[in-house]
Chain A
Amino acid sequence: MAVMTYREALNQALREEMRRDPRVFVIGEEVGLYDGAYKVTQGLLKEFGAKRVVDTPICESGFTGVGIGAAMLGLRPVVEMMTFNFSLMAMDQIVNTAAKLHYMSGGQFSVPLVIRGPGGPAAQLAAQHSQSMETYYYHVPGLKVVRPTTPMDAKGLLKSAIRDDNPVIFIESETLYHLKGEVPDDPDFLIPLGQAIVRREGTDVTVVAYMGMMYRALEAAEELAKEGISVELVDPRTLRPMDTETIIGSVRKTHRVVVVEAGAGFAGMGSEIAAFITEQAFDDLDAPVERVTGANAPMPYARNLEKLKTPTTEKILAAVRRVCNANGS
Chain B
Amino acid sequence: MPRTVLEPRFQVEYLSILDSEGHLDAALEPKLSPDELRALYRAMILGRRLDERMVRLQRQGRLGTFAPIKGQEASQLGSVSTLRPTDWMVPSFRETAAMVWRGWPIEKLLLFFAGYVEGGQPGEGQRDLPIAVPVATQLPHAVGLAYAAQYRGEDAVVMAYFGDGATSEGDCHEALNFAGVWHVPVVFVCQNNQWAISVPLKKQTHSKTIAQKALAYGMPGIQVDGNDVLAVYAAAREAVDRARAGEGPTLIECVTYRLGVHTTADDPTKYRAEEEVKMWEQKDPLTRFTAYMRQKSLLEDGLEQQVDEEIALAVERFEATPPPDPLTMFDHLYAELPPHLVAQREELARRLREGGAPEPDAPAPTPRATPMRGQRLTRR
Give the B-binding residues of A (Cβ under 8 A): 25, 51, 56-57, 59, 61-75, 89, 92-93, 96-97, 101-110, 141-142, 144, 164-166, 194, 241-242, 244-245, 282-284, 286
Count of inter-chain pairs, beta carbons less than 8 A: 145
B171, B371, B380: the one within 8 Å of A65 (CB): B171
Question: Considering only CB atoms, which chain A residue lies closest to B88 in the complex?
Answer: A73
- Whether A59 lies near B148 (C-beta < 8 A) is no
In the bound complex, CA of A141 to CA of B174 (Å): 27
In the bound complex, CA of A71 to CA of B177 (Å): 20
- Whether B145 lies near A69 (C-beta < 8 A) is yes
Rank and list the top 5 A-B pairs by shortest CB-CB distance, nearest first. A69-B144, A65-B140, A62-B174, A69-B141, A165-B335
- Whether B334 lies near A142 (C-beta < 8 A) is yes
A164 in contact with B152 given A67-B144, A70-B144, A73-B145 (CB within 8 Å): no
Residue B366 is within 8 A (CB to CB) of chain A in the complex: no
- Whether A66 lies near B376 (C-beta < 8 A) is no
A141 in contact with B333 given A57-B178, A59-B174 (CB within 8 Å): yes
Please indicate the chain B residues that have their CB under 8 angstroms from the CB of A64 in the complex.
140
Please indicate the chain A residues that have their CB under 8 angstroms from the CB of B132 in the complex.
97
Please indicate the chain A residues that have their CB under 8 angstroms from the CB of B178 in the complex.
56-57, 59, 62-63, 66
In the bound complex, CA of A11 to CA of B339 (Å): 31
Please indicate the chain A residues that have their CB under 8 angstroms from the CB of B335 in the complex.
102, 110, 164-166
- Whether B334 lies near A65 (C-beta < 8 A) is no
- Whether A68 lies near B140 (C-beta < 8 A) is yes
In the bound complex, CA of A89 to CA of B170 (Å): 10
- Whether B177 lies near A62 (C-beta < 8 A) is yes
In the bound complex, CA of A141 to CA of B170 (Å): 25
- Whether B332 lies near A283 (C-beta < 8 A) is no
A70 in contact with B148 given A102-B334, A104-B130, A283-B377 (CB within 8 Å): yes
Extra 13 A-B pairs, beta carbons < 8 Å, given A57-B177, A59-B170, A102-B334 = A62-B143, A62-B178, A70-B148, A72-B144, A73-B152, A74-B148, A105-B332, A106-B120, A106-B121, A194-B339, A241-B338, A242-B340, A282-B376
In the bound complex, CA of A75 to CA of B129 (Å): 16
Please indicate the chain B residues that have their CB under 8 angstroms from the CB of A57 in the complex.
174, 177-178, 181
A22 to chain B, nearest CB (A): 9
Question: Considering only CB atoms, which chain B residue lies closest to A93 in the complex?
Answer: B137
A235 to chain B, nearest CB (A): 18
Residue B52 is within 8 A (CB to CB) of chain A in the complex: no
Query: Would you list 29 pairs from A and B whose C-beta atoms are within 8 A, ordered by A residue?
Result: A56-B178, A57-B177, A57-B181, A59-B174, A61-B171, A62-B170, A65-B141, A65-B174, A67-B144, A68-B140, A69-B140, A69-B141, A69-B145, A69-B147, A70-B144, A70-B151, A73-B144, A93-B171, A97-B132, A103-B331, A105-B332, A106-B331, A107-B332, A108-B122, A109-B129, A141-B333, A194-B338, A241-B339, A283-B371
B233 to chain A, nearest CB (A): 26
Write the B316-338 contact mask toward A (1 if CB under 8 angstroms, else 0): 00000000000000011111001
- Whether A283 lies near B376 (C-beta < 8 A) is yes
Please indicate the chain B residues that have their CB under 8 angstroms from the CB of A51 in the complex.
151
Please indicate the chain A residues that have their CB under 8 angstroms from the CB of B152 in the complex.
73-75
Write the B155-186 contact mask toward A (1 if CB under 8 angstroms, else 0): 00000000000000011001101100100000
- Whether B332 lies near A103 (C-beta < 8 A) is yes
Please indicate the chain A residues that have their CB under 8 angstroms from the CB of B130 in the complex.
101, 104-105, 109
Q: How many residues of B contact A (CB 8 A)?
A: 43
Give the A-binding residues of B (Cβ under 8 A): 117-118, 120-122, 129-130, 132, 134, 137, 139-149, 151-152, 170-171, 174-175, 177-178, 181, 331-335, 338-340, 371, 376-378, 380
- Whether B134 lies near A92 (C-beta < 8 A) is yes
In the bound complex, CA of A242 to CA of B343 (Å): 13
B341 to chain A, nearest CB (A): 8
A62, A108, A142, A242: the one within 8 Å of B171 (CB): A62
Please indicate the chain B residues that have their CB under 8 angstroms from the CB of A73 in the complex.
144-145, 148-149, 152
Please indicate the chain A residues that have their CB under 8 angstroms from the CB of B181 in the complex.
57
Please indicate the chain B residues that have their CB under 8 angstroms from the CB of A109 in the complex.
129-130
- Whether B147 lies near A66 (C-beta < 8 A) is yes
Please indicate the chain A residues that have their CB under 8 angstroms from the CB of B338 in the complex.
194, 241
A54 to chain B, nearest CB (A): 8
Please indicate the chain B residues that have their CB under 8 angstroms from the CB of A67 in the complex.
144
- Whether B148 lies near A65 (C-beta < 8 A) is no
Please indicate the chain A residues that have their CB under 8 angstroms from the CB of B144 in the complex.
65-73
A199 to chain B, nearest CB (A): 22
A65, A72, A103: the one within 8 Å of B175 (CB): A65
In the bound complex, CA of A242 to CA of B149 (Å): 36
In the bound complex, CA of A105 to CA of B128 (Å): 12
Please indicate the chain A residues that have their CB under 8 angstroms from the CB of B177 in the complex.
57, 59, 62
- Whether B137 lies near A282 (C-beta < 8 A) is no
Question: Considering only CB atoms, which chain A residue lies closest to B338 in the complex?
Answer: A241
In the bound complex, CA of A22 to CA of B122 (Å): 27
In the bound complex, CA of A63 to CA of B66 (Å): 30
In the bound complex, CA of A262 to CA of B181 (Å): 40
Please indicate the chain B residues that have their CB under 8 angstroms from the CB of A97 in the complex.
132, 134, 137, 141
In the bound complex, CA of A286 to CA of B373 (Å): 10
- Whether A68 lies near B141 (C-beta < 8 A) is yes
Please indicate the chain B residues that have their CB under 8 angstroms from the CB of A59 in the complex.
170, 174, 177-178
A240 to chain B, nearest CB (A): 8
In the bound complex, CA of A96 to CA of B136 (Å): 12
- Whether B145 lies near A70 (C-beta < 8 A) is yes
Please indicate the chain A residues that have their CB under 8 angstroms from the CB of B147 in the complex.
66, 69-70
Question: Considering only CB atoms, which chain A residue lies closest to B139 in the complex?
Answer: A65
In the bound complex, CA of A109 to CA of B144 (Å): 14
- Whether A65 lies near B143 (C-beta < 8 A) is yes
In the bound complex, CA of A65 to CA of B331 (Å): 24
A253 to chain B, nearest CB (A): 12
- Whether A72 lies near B145 (C-beta < 8 A) is yes
A45 to chain B, nearest CB (A): 16
Please indicate the chain B residues that have their CB under 8 angstroms from the CB of A75 in the complex.
148, 151-152
A66, A142, A164, A242: the one within 8 Å of B143 (CB): A66
In the bound complex, CA of A164 to CA of B334 (Å): 10
A252 to chain B, nearest CB (A): 10
